[in-house]
Amino acid sequence: MTLALELRDLATEIAREAGELAHRRRREGVHLAATKTTLADIVTDADREVEALIRARIAEVRPDDGFLGEESEADVGVSGITWVVDPIDGTVNYAYGMPAYNVSIAAVRGTPDPQSWEALAGVVHAPALGEIFTAAQGHGAWSGETRLAVTTDTPAGALLATGFGYDPSTHDGDLATVRRVMPMARDLRRSGSAALDLAYVAAGRLDGYYERGLKPWDFAAGALLVEEAGGLVSRLEVDSSRPMLIAGGRAVHARLHGILSEKR
């Protein structure tokens, strides 16, 4: 078995257990643990508990790997493999009781820098939706027995998704960007979860996705899903403080890239 498949299978097993924990804690009632960059940027007790479980399960099997998670200290590791983890992506959805949240786990070779890492495995598990999306480098992207494929034709315009950061001062600029992309769109969706949006691009449920200011753990797994489903993912540093992530099939990715890379 290749390393990518081995890492995918481990990530899948852990994501299932972690997703069930998140789902159980949600049913029991969610408690706000802290706010981070703004009042809207929250972390729940469950975020921290789920990340601790993921970290412990990985360490049991691969103690020399690195770890980069949203809710705990980074660990460099010595194996050359780093796990990039969002324990609950779609945190605000989770806190409000909406089902569009997921556990996102990726394994990358090299430093956990999106500009240079080599993604080997990725899993996005949405327990409240009963869905899990998996990918191993060179082995395609899957949802159960269904192989995922991005869309290739958008005669009525592209069904796009995007998101907005927690900092209200960025919202005007992001809404201006919506105005710039709408001429190529048939409609726009805003799920509140980057990982799920990327999984839906991989599954052909969205034609494209873009968002500024995502953290590596928001997209590490979902980006591999899109690439293994035949799509393209790129990260524009037009504004280095809030890089722009773009994902889609070849034609949609090219049109989004052309629009979003224009200096404004």
Binding interface with ligand LIP (CB under 6 A) = 70, 86, 89-91, 163-166, 192-194, 211, 218
Q: 10 Å Cβ neighbour count for 190? A: 13
Who contacts 94 (Cβ-Cβ below 8 Å, separation ≥6)? 22, 26, 30, 44, 46, 88, 101
Helix, strand, coil percent content, the chain, rounded in steps of 5: 40, 30, 35
Q: For the CB of residue 79, give the shortest distance to ligand LIP in the complex, in Å.
A: 26
Q: For the CB of residue 86, give the shortest distance to ligand LIP in the complex, in Å.
A: 5
Q: Which is nearer to ligand LIP, 62 or 209 (CB)?
A: 209
**Burial 213-243, CB ≥16 within 10 A → b, else e:** bbebbbbbbbbbbbbbbbbbbbeeeeeeebb
Q: How far is CA 105 from the centre of its chain?
A: 9
Q: Which helix (H) or strand (E) holds 69?
A: strand 66-69
Residue 87 contacts residue 47 (beta carbons within 8 Å): yes
Q: Which is nearer to ligand LIP, 4 or 226 (CB)?
A: 226
Q: For the CB of residue 3, give the shortest distance to ligand LIP in the complex, in Å.
A: 27
Q: Which is nearer to ligand LIP, 216 or 231 (CB)?
A: 216
Q: 10 Å Cβ neighbour count for 174? A: 17
- CA distance to 13, 49, 125, 185, per residue, from 72 (Å): 21, 11, 20, 38
Q: For the CB of residue 100, give the shortest distance to ligand LIP in the complex, in Å.
A: 9
Two tokens at 86? 């969002």
C-beta nearest to ligand LIP: residue: 163
Q: For the CB of residue 6, give the shortest distance to ligand LIP in the complex, in Å.
A: 27
Q: Which is nearer to ligand LIP, 192 or 231 (CB)?
A: 192
Q: Which is nearer to ligand LIP, 11 or 198 (CB)?
A: 198
Q: Which is nearer to ligand LIP, 69 or 231 (CB)?
A: 69
Q: For the CB of residue 168, give the shortest distance to ligand LIP in the complex, in Å.
A: 12
